[in-house]
Structure 1
Amino acid sequence: MDFSVYILYCVAVIVMIATPGPVMLLVAGAGLRGGYKKALHTIFGTNLASLVLIATSVLILKGFLNIASHWFDIIKILGCLYIAYLGMQIVREALSQTQQAHEISSQVQSSFKQGFLVGISNPKDIIFFASFFPQFTHVMHNLDQSLILLTLTWIVLDFATLSVVYFGFNALSKSKSYNKILLSCGAILLVVALYGIYSVWF
Protein backbone atom coordinates (compact mmCIF):
# COMPACT_ATOMS: atom_id res chain seq x y z
CA MET A 1 0.00 0.00 0.00
CA ASP A 2 1.26 3.46 -0.93
CA PHE A 3 0.63 5.46 2.27
CA SER A 4 1.74 8.78 0.76
CA VAL A 5 -0.89 8.48 -1.99
CA TYR A 6 -3.50 7.39 0.55
CA ILE A 7 -2.80 10.34 2.86
CA LEU A 8 -2.93 12.71 -0.12
CA TYR A 9 -6.32 11.22 -1.04
CA CYS A 10 -7.63 11.71 2.52
CA VAL A 11 -6.50 15.33 2.55
CA ALA A 12 -8.05 15.94 -0.87
CA VAL A 13 -11.38 14.44 0.23
CA ILE A 14 -11.53 16.49 3.44
CA VAL A 15 -10.65 19.71 1.62
CA MET A 16 -13.21 19.04 -1.11
CA ILE A 17 -16.00 18.26 1.35
CA ALA A 18 -15.17 21.13 3.72
CA THR A 19 -14.83 23.70 0.94
CA PRO A 20 -18.02 25.82 0.74
CA GLY A 21 -20.34 24.31 -1.82
CA PRO A 22 -23.92 23.07 -2.26
CA VAL A 23 -23.54 19.95 -0.07
CA MET A 24 -21.82 21.73 2.81
CA LEU A 25 -24.30 24.59 2.75
CA LEU A 26 -27.25 22.22 2.54
CA VAL A 27 -26.04 20.36 5.64
CA ALA A 28 -25.40 23.68 7.39
CA GLY A 29 -28.92 24.84 6.55
CA ALA A 30 -30.33 21.60 7.92
CA GLY A 31 -28.38 22.10 11.11
CA LEU A 32 -29.60 25.65 11.51
CA ARG A 33 -33.25 24.74 10.97
CA GLY A 34 -33.80 21.15 12.03
CA GLY A 35 -30.99 20.02 14.30
CA TYR A 36 -28.65 17.06 13.90
CA LYS A 37 -31.42 14.66 12.88
CA LYS A 38 -32.20 16.70 9.77
CA ALA A 39 -28.51 17.23 9.10
CA LEU A 40 -27.88 13.48 9.44
CA HIS A 41 -30.66 12.67 6.97
CA THR A 42 -29.04 15.08 4.52
CA ILE A 43 -25.60 13.55 5.07
CA PHE A 44 -27.01 10.07 4.39
CA GLY A 45 -28.51 11.36 1.15
CA THR A 46 -25.32 13.05 -0.04
CA ASN A 47 -23.29 9.98 0.93
CA LEU A 48 -25.51 7.69 -1.13
CA ALA A 49 -25.17 10.08 -4.06
CA SER A 50 -21.38 9.89 -3.71
CA LEU A 51 -21.54 6.10 -3.76
CA VAL A 52 -23.56 6.22 -6.97
CA LEU A 53 -20.95 8.54 -8.52
CA ILE A 54 -18.14 6.26 -7.30
CA ALA A 55 -19.89 3.23 -8.81
CA THR A 56 -20.27 5.12 -12.11
CA SER A 57 -16.58 6.07 -12.04
CA VAL A 58 -15.60 2.44 -11.40
CA LEU A 59 -17.75 1.20 -14.29
CA ILE A 60 -16.11 3.76 -16.59
CA LEU A 61 -12.63 2.76 -15.36
CA LYS A 62 -13.32 -0.91 -16.04
CA GLY A 63 -14.74 -0.19 -19.47
CA PHE A 64 -18.29 -1.30 -18.70
CA LEU A 65 -19.79 2.15 -19.20
CA ASN A 66 -19.23 4.99 -21.62
CA ILE A 67 -21.02 8.27 -20.91
CA ALA A 68 -20.92 11.18 -23.34
CA SER A 69 -19.78 14.46 -21.80
CA HIS A 70 -22.98 16.29 -22.77
CA TRP A 71 -24.97 14.04 -20.40
CA PHE A 72 -22.81 15.26 -17.53
CA ASP A 73 -23.54 18.82 -18.62
CA ILE A 74 -27.29 18.16 -18.57
CA ILE A 75 -27.05 16.67 -15.07
CA LYS A 76 -25.01 19.68 -13.92
CA ILE A 77 -27.59 22.17 -15.25
CA LEU A 78 -30.52 20.33 -13.66
CA GLY A 79 -28.58 20.12 -10.42
CA CYS A 80 -27.80 23.83 -10.49
CA LEU A 81 -31.47 24.65 -11.02
CA TYR A 82 -32.41 22.51 -8.02
CA ILE A 83 -29.66 24.11 -5.92
CA ALA A 84 -31.00 27.55 -6.90
CA TYR A 85 -34.50 26.46 -5.82
CA LEU A 86 -33.20 25.39 -2.40
CA GLY A 87 -31.25 28.62 -2.08
CA MET A 88 -34.38 30.67 -2.76
CA GLN A 89 -36.29 28.72 -0.11
CA ILE A 90 -33.58 29.39 2.48
CA VAL A 91 -33.40 33.09 1.56
CA ARG A 92 -37.19 33.40 1.83
CA GLU A 93 -37.14 31.84 5.27
CA ALA A 94 -34.33 34.11 6.45
CA LEU A 95 -36.12 37.24 5.24
CA SER A 96 -39.56 36.32 6.53
CA GLN A 97 -40.56 36.54 10.17
CA THR A 98 -44.10 35.20 9.80
CA GLN A 99 -45.35 31.83 10.98
CA GLN A 100 -46.77 31.19 7.53
CA ALA A 101 -43.34 31.47 5.95
CA HIS A 102 -41.93 29.13 8.59
CA GLU A 103 -44.60 26.55 7.80
CA ILE A 104 -43.88 26.80 4.08
CA SER A 105 -40.12 26.46 4.53
CA SER A 106 -40.47 23.55 6.91
CA GLN A 107 -41.93 21.54 4.04
CA VAL A 108 -38.67 21.86 2.11
CA GLN A 109 -36.21 21.33 4.93
CA SER A 110 -33.10 19.41 4.05
CA SER A 111 -33.69 15.69 4.07
CA PHE A 112 -32.40 12.45 2.64
CA LYS A 113 -34.03 13.14 -0.74
CA GLN A 114 -32.70 16.69 -1.01
CA GLY A 115 -29.26 15.55 0.08
CA PHE A 116 -29.23 12.85 -2.59
CA LEU A 117 -30.46 15.14 -5.38
CA VAL A 118 -27.93 17.85 -4.56
CA GLY A 119 -25.12 15.34 -4.14
CA ILE A 120 -25.80 13.45 -7.37
CA SER A 121 -25.94 16.67 -9.42
CA ASN A 122 -23.25 18.65 -7.60
CA PRO A 123 -20.76 19.79 -10.28
CA LYS A 124 -17.88 19.64 -7.79
CA ASP A 125 -18.57 15.99 -6.94
CA ILE A 126 -19.09 15.01 -10.58
CA ILE A 127 -15.73 16.51 -11.54
CA PHE A 128 -14.01 14.87 -8.54
CA PHE A 129 -15.25 11.36 -9.25
CA ALA A 130 -14.93 11.63 -13.03
CA SER A 131 -11.36 12.95 -13.18
CA PHE A 132 -9.71 13.18 -9.75
CA PHE A 133 -10.82 9.93 -8.08
CA PRO A 134 -9.29 7.63 -10.76
CA GLN A 135 -5.84 9.09 -10.06
CA PHE A 136 -5.75 7.32 -6.68
CA THR A 137 -6.75 3.85 -7.81
CA HIS A 138 -3.11 2.70 -7.62
CA VAL A 139 -2.98 3.19 -3.85
CA MET A 140 -2.84 -0.61 -3.61
CA HIS A 141 -1.48 -3.13 -6.10
CA ASN A 142 -4.91 -4.68 -6.65
CA LEU A 143 -7.46 -2.40 -8.33
CA ASP A 144 -10.47 -3.90 -6.55
CA GLN A 145 -8.80 -3.55 -3.15
CA SER A 146 -7.91 0.05 -3.96
CA LEU A 147 -11.49 0.84 -4.91
CA ILE A 148 -12.85 -0.72 -1.71
CA LEU A 149 -10.35 1.20 0.43
CA LEU A 150 -11.00 4.51 -1.31
CA THR A 151 -14.77 4.07 -1.10
CA LEU A 152 -14.81 3.16 2.61
CA THR A 153 -12.44 6.05 3.34
CA TRP A 154 -14.76 8.43 1.49
CA ILE A 155 -17.78 7.27 3.52
CA VAL A 156 -16.01 7.76 6.86
CA LEU A 157 -14.49 11.13 5.96
CA ASP A 158 -17.76 12.35 4.43
CA PHE A 159 -19.74 11.64 7.61
CA ALA A 160 -17.02 13.00 9.88
CA THR A 161 -16.39 16.22 7.93
CA LEU A 162 -20.06 17.08 7.38
CA SER A 163 -20.84 16.34 11.04
CA VAL A 164 -18.14 18.82 12.05
CA VAL A 165 -19.73 21.33 9.65
CA TYR A 166 -23.10 20.78 11.33
CA PHE A 167 -21.77 21.27 14.85
CA GLY A 168 -19.96 24.43 13.78
CA PHE A 169 -23.07 25.96 12.26
CA ASN A 170 -25.21 24.71 15.13
CA ALA A 171 -23.09 26.76 17.52
CA LEU A 172 -23.62 29.79 15.29
CA SER A 173 -27.39 29.24 15.28
CA LYS A 174 -27.53 30.27 18.94
CA SER A 175 -26.20 33.71 18.11
CA LYS A 176 -28.19 36.82 17.26
CA SER A 177 -26.89 36.56 13.71
CA TYR A 178 -28.95 33.42 13.01
CA ASN A 179 -31.04 34.98 10.21
CA LYS A 180 -27.99 36.60 8.64
CA ILE A 181 -26.12 33.28 8.63
CA LEU A 182 -29.13 31.50 7.12
CA LEU A 183 -29.47 34.27 4.53
CA SER A 184 -25.79 33.94 3.64
CA CYS A 185 -26.17 30.18 3.11
CA GLY A 186 -29.11 30.72 0.77
CA ALA A 187 -27.38 33.51 -1.12
CA ILE A 188 -24.20 31.48 -1.62
CA LEU A 189 -26.26 28.55 -2.92
CA LEU A 190 -27.81 30.89 -5.50
CA VAL A 191 -24.37 32.15 -6.55
CA VAL A 192 -23.04 28.59 -6.81
CA ALA A 193 -26.03 27.60 -8.96
CA LEU A 194 -25.65 30.58 -11.30
CA TYR A 195 -21.91 30.02 -11.63
CA GLY A 196 -22.48 26.33 -12.35
CA ILE A 197 -24.93 27.12 -15.15
CA TYR A 198 -22.57 29.77 -16.53
CA SER A 199 -19.61 27.36 -16.53
CA VAL A 200 -21.58 24.77 -18.51
CA TRP A 201 -22.93 27.16 -21.15
CA PHE A 202 -19.87 29.36 -21.52
Structure 2
Amino acid sequence: MPLHTWLLFLPAVFAINVYPGPNNLMALGNGARRGGRQAFLAAAARLPAFAAMIALVALGLGVVLAASETFFVVLKWIGAAYLVYLGIRMMLAPVDEAAVGRAPAEPLARLARREFLVAATNPKAIVTFTAFFPQFLTPGGEHYVEMAQMGLAFLLLEAVAILIYAGLGSRIGALAGTARRMRLVNRLSGGALVVAGALLALARRPQAV
Protein backbone atom coordinates (compact mmCIF):
# COMPACT_ATOMS: atom_id res chain seq x y z
CA MET A 1 0.00 0.00 0.00
CA PRO A 2 1.18 3.58 -0.63
CA LEU A 3 2.57 5.52 2.33
CA HIS A 4 -0.36 7.93 2.46
CA THR A 5 -2.75 4.99 2.79
CA TRP A 6 -0.76 3.62 5.73
CA LEU A 7 -0.85 7.05 7.36
CA LEU A 8 -4.64 6.87 7.23
CA PHE A 9 -4.98 3.20 8.10
CA LEU A 10 -2.74 2.97 11.18
CA PRO A 11 -4.38 5.69 13.32
CA ALA A 12 -7.83 4.48 12.33
CA VAL A 13 -7.12 0.85 13.15
CA PHE A 14 -5.43 1.75 16.45
CA ALA A 15 -8.60 3.59 17.46
CA ILE A 16 -10.40 0.28 16.95
CA ASN A 17 -7.73 -1.58 18.94
CA VAL A 18 -7.95 0.67 22.00
CA TYR A 19 -11.75 0.93 22.06
CA PRO A 20 -12.93 -0.37 25.47
CA GLY A 21 -14.71 -3.41 24.10
CA PRO A 22 -15.31 -6.73 25.91
CA ASN A 23 -11.79 -8.12 25.43
CA ASN A 24 -10.09 -4.95 26.61
CA LEU A 25 -12.37 -4.74 29.63
CA MET A 26 -11.46 -8.33 30.45
CA ALA A 27 -7.73 -7.54 30.18
CA LEU A 28 -8.29 -4.56 32.48
CA GLY A 29 -10.05 -6.72 35.07
CA ASN A 30 -7.50 -9.51 34.85
CA GLY A 31 -4.70 -6.98 35.23
CA ALA A 32 -6.28 -5.61 38.39
CA ARG A 33 -6.90 -9.00 39.94
CA ARG A 34 -3.98 -11.08 38.65
CA GLY A 35 -1.26 -8.70 37.55
CA GLY A 36 -0.18 -7.23 34.24
CA ARG A 37 1.96 -10.14 33.05
CA GLN A 38 -0.74 -12.79 33.46
CA ALA A 39 -3.37 -10.48 31.98
CA PHE A 40 -1.18 -9.81 28.93
CA LEU A 41 -0.42 -13.48 28.32
CA ALA A 42 -4.08 -14.42 28.67
CA ALA A 43 -5.23 -11.60 26.40
CA ALA A 44 -2.79 -12.69 23.69
CA ALA A 45 -5.16 -15.62 23.09
CA ARG A 46 -7.54 -13.25 21.34
CA LEU A 47 -5.02 -12.73 18.54
CA PRO A 48 -5.56 -16.14 16.85
CA ALA A 49 -9.32 -15.49 16.83
CA PHE A 50 -8.85 -12.12 15.12
CA ALA A 51 -6.26 -13.58 12.74
CA ALA A 52 -8.78 -16.25 11.65
CA MET A 53 -11.42 -13.58 11.04
CA ILE A 54 -9.02 -11.51 8.94
CA ALA A 55 -8.15 -14.62 6.92
CA LEU A 56 -11.85 -15.26 6.28
CA VAL A 57 -12.28 -11.69 5.07
CA ALA A 58 -9.27 -12.06 2.78
CA LEU A 59 -10.74 -15.26 1.32
CA GLY A 60 -14.08 -13.56 0.72
CA LEU A 61 -16.02 -15.58 3.28
CA GLY A 62 -16.23 -12.57 5.57
CA VAL A 63 -18.72 -10.90 3.25
CA VAL A 64 -20.96 -13.97 3.33
CA LEU A 65 -20.81 -14.29 7.12
CA ALA A 66 -21.24 -10.55 7.72
CA ALA A 67 -24.32 -10.53 5.48
CA SER A 68 -25.94 -13.48 7.25
CA GLU A 69 -28.57 -12.30 9.72
CA THR A 70 -28.83 -15.79 11.25
CA PHE A 71 -25.08 -16.03 11.80
CA PHE A 72 -24.98 -12.60 13.40
CA VAL A 73 -27.94 -13.19 15.72
CA VAL A 74 -26.86 -16.65 16.90
CA LEU A 75 -23.28 -15.59 17.57
CA LYS A 76 -24.48 -12.35 19.15
CA TRP A 77 -26.60 -14.17 21.75
CA ILE A 78 -23.89 -16.71 22.50
CA GLY A 79 -21.37 -13.91 23.00
CA ALA A 80 -23.74 -11.80 25.07
CA ALA A 81 -24.66 -14.69 27.37
CA TYR A 82 -21.00 -15.57 27.85
CA LEU A 83 -20.07 -11.99 28.74
CA VAL A 84 -22.88 -11.75 31.29
CA TYR A 85 -21.83 -15.09 32.79
CA LEU A 86 -18.20 -13.96 33.10
CA GLY A 87 -19.26 -10.62 34.54
CA ILE A 88 -21.42 -12.18 37.22
CA ARG A 89 -18.64 -14.60 38.14
CA MET A 90 -16.22 -11.72 38.44
CA MET A 91 -18.58 -9.69 40.62
CA LEU A 92 -19.15 -12.63 42.96
CA ALA A 93 -15.50 -13.73 43.10
CA PRO A 94 -14.32 -14.02 46.73
CA VAL A 95 -11.39 -11.90 47.87
CA ASP A 96 -9.15 -13.12 50.66
CA GLU A 97 -7.49 -10.36 52.70
CA ALA A 98 -4.27 -12.39 52.78
CA ALA A 99 -4.34 -12.87 49.01
CA VAL A 100 -4.53 -9.18 48.13
CA GLY A 101 -1.48 -8.19 46.11
CA ARG A 102 -0.80 -11.78 44.99
CA ALA A 103 -2.05 -13.35 41.78
CA PRO A 104 -4.78 -15.95 42.43
CA ALA A 105 -3.81 -19.46 41.43
CA GLU A 106 -6.13 -19.69 38.41
CA PRO A 107 -4.61 -21.51 35.44
CA LEU A 108 -3.40 -19.20 32.70
CA ALA A 109 -4.93 -21.56 30.13
CA ARG A 110 -8.39 -20.93 31.57
CA LEU A 111 -7.96 -17.17 31.36
CA ALA A 112 -6.65 -17.47 27.81
CA ARG A 113 -9.59 -19.64 26.80
CA ARG A 114 -11.99 -16.97 28.05
CA GLU A 115 -10.21 -14.29 26.05
CA PHE A 116 -10.31 -16.42 22.91
CA LEU A 117 -14.01 -17.25 23.31
CA VAL A 118 -14.99 -13.63 23.94
CA ALA A 119 -13.20 -12.60 20.75
CA ALA A 120 -14.51 -15.52 18.69
CA THR A 121 -18.15 -15.02 19.75
CA ASN A 122 -18.24 -11.31 18.96
CA PRO A 123 -19.93 -11.11 15.55
CA LYS A 124 -19.26 -7.38 15.29
CA ALA A 125 -15.55 -8.13 14.93
CA ILE A 126 -15.83 -9.94 11.61
CA VAL A 127 -18.31 -7.35 10.36
CA THR A 128 -15.82 -4.63 11.29
CA PHE A 129 -13.02 -6.37 9.40
CA THR A 130 -15.28 -6.91 6.41
CA ALA A 131 -16.39 -3.28 6.29
CA PHE A 132 -13.13 -1.61 7.32
CA PHE A 133 -10.17 -3.32 5.66
CA PRO A 134 -11.40 -3.23 2.03
CA GLN A 135 -11.62 0.56 2.18
CA PHE A 136 -7.81 0.71 2.22
CA LEU A 137 -7.10 -1.73 -0.59
CA THR A 138 -5.28 -0.31 -3.59
CA PRO A 139 -7.36 -0.58 -6.79
CA GLY A 140 -5.71 -3.14 -9.00
CA GLY A 141 -3.22 -4.03 -6.29
CA GLU A 142 -2.30 -7.40 -4.80
CA HIS A 143 -5.23 -7.67 -2.44
CA TYR A 144 -4.12 -10.82 -0.64
CA VAL A 145 -0.74 -9.28 0.12
CA GLU A 146 -2.30 -6.03 1.29
CA MET A 147 -4.83 -7.86 3.48
CA ALA A 148 -1.99 -9.83 5.05
CA GLN A 149 -0.05 -6.62 5.69
CA MET A 150 -3.06 -4.87 7.23
CA GLY A 151 -3.87 -7.95 9.26
CA LEU A 152 -0.36 -8.10 10.68
CA ALA A 153 -0.47 -4.38 11.50
CA PHE A 154 -3.81 -4.85 13.25
CA LEU A 155 -2.50 -7.73 15.36
CA LEU A 156 0.65 -5.82 16.35
CA LEU A 157 -1.40 -2.80 17.39
CA GLU A 158 -3.82 -5.10 19.21
CA ALA A 159 -0.86 -6.37 21.23
CA VAL A 160 -0.03 -2.76 22.12
CA ALA A 161 -3.63 -2.21 23.24
CA ILE A 162 -3.43 -5.37 25.36
CA LEU A 163 -0.27 -4.04 26.99
CA ILE A 164 -1.99 -0.75 27.77
CA TYR A 165 -5.09 -2.32 29.34
CA ALA A 166 -3.20 -5.03 31.22
CA GLY A 167 -0.77 -2.44 32.58
CA LEU A 168 -3.56 -0.07 33.56
CA GLY A 169 -5.40 -2.89 35.28
CA SER A 170 -2.27 -3.88 37.16
CA ARG A 171 -1.88 -0.31 38.35
CA ILE A 172 -5.50 -0.23 39.52
CA GLY A 173 -4.95 -3.50 41.41
CA ALA A 174 -1.85 -2.10 43.10
CA LEU A 175 -3.78 0.98 44.21
CA ALA A 176 -6.66 -1.12 45.57
CA GLY A 177 -4.53 -2.36 48.44
CA THR A 178 -7.26 -3.93 50.59
CA ALA A 179 -9.76 -6.75 50.19
CA ARG A 180 -12.63 -4.26 50.38
CA ARG A 181 -11.24 -2.19 47.53
CA MET A 182 -10.44 -5.31 45.52
CA ARG A 183 -14.05 -6.46 45.88
CA LEU A 184 -15.07 -3.07 44.49
CA VAL A 185 -12.67 -3.56 41.57
CA ASN A 186 -14.21 -7.01 40.93
CA ARG A 187 -17.71 -5.58 40.97
CA LEU A 188 -16.85 -2.71 38.68
CA SER A 189 -14.97 -4.97 36.24
CA GLY A 190 -17.69 -7.60 36.31
CA GLY A 191 -20.40 -4.98 35.96
CA ALA A 192 -18.63 -3.57 32.90
CA LEU A 193 -18.66 -7.03 31.30
CA VAL A 194 -22.37 -7.46 32.10
CA VAL A 195 -23.08 -4.09 30.48
CA ALA A 196 -20.96 -5.08 27.46
CA GLY A 197 -22.98 -8.29 27.18
CA ALA A 198 -26.25 -6.38 27.35
CA LEU A 199 -25.09 -3.93 24.70
CA LEU A 200 -24.02 -6.81 22.45
CA ALA A 201 -27.44 -8.44 22.90
CA LEU A 202 -29.10 -5.18 21.81
CA ALA A 203 -26.72 -4.59 18.90
CA ARG A 204 -27.99 -4.52 15.35
CA ARG A 205 -25.96 -5.98 12.51
CA PRO A 206 -23.79 -3.21 11.01
CA GLN A 207 -23.94 -2.81 7.27
CA ALA A 208 -20.91 -4.22 5.52
CA VAL A 209 -19.58 -2.48 2.44
Which bracket does the TM-score occupy, shorter chain normalised?
Answer: 0.7 to 0.9
Paired amino acid for 2:6: Y
Alignment of 1:101-116 (within 5 A): 107=106, 111-116=111-116
TM, length-normalised to structure 2: 0.80
State the Cα distance separating 1:9 from its structure 2 match: 2.0
Task: Give structure 1 stretches of 5+ with no counterpart.
Answer: none
- Aligned twin of 2:184: 180
- Aligned twin of 2:195: 191
Mean CA deviation greater in 148-157 or 68-77: 68-77
State, as a whole percentage, how many aligned pairs show the same letter. Answer: 23
Alignment check: 8 A CA contact 1:6 1:139 kept: no
How many residues align? The count is 193
TM, length-normalised to structure 1: 0.82
State the Cα distance separating 1:81 from its structure 2 match: 0.8
Alignment check: 8 A CA contact 1:28 1:166 kept: yes
Whether 2:70 is the aligned partner of 1:66: answer: no
Paired amino acid for 1:36: G
Paired amino acid for 1:198: L
| Cα distance change of structure 1 residues 127 and 66 upon mapping to structure 2, 3 Å threshold | closer
Mean CA deviation greater in 146-155 or 125-134: 125-134
| Cα distance change of structure 1 residues 106 and 121 upon mapping to structure 2, 3 Å threshold | farther
Whether 2:77 is the aligned partner of 1:77: answer: yes
Alignment of 1:158-173 (within 5 A): 158-173=158-173
Alignment check: 8 A CA contact 2:31 2:38 kept: yes
- Aligned twin of 1:144: 144
- Aligned twin of 1:43: 43
Deviations 1:16-67 (A, max 9, x none): 1211110101111221222234213322211111011111111226x9x833
Alignment check: 8 A CA contact 1:32 1:173 kept: yes
Deviations 1:76-112 (A, max 9, x none): 210111111111111112xx4458xx9xx96587622
Paired amino acid for 1:28: L
- Aligned twin of 1:154: 154
Backbone CA RMSD of aligned residues: 2.8
Mean CA deviation greater in 30-39 or 69-78: 30-39
- Aligned twin of 2:16: 16
| Cα distance change of structure 1 residues 161 and 97 upon mapping to structure 2, 3 Å threshold | closer
Task: Give structure 2 stretches of 5+ with no counterpart.
Answer: none
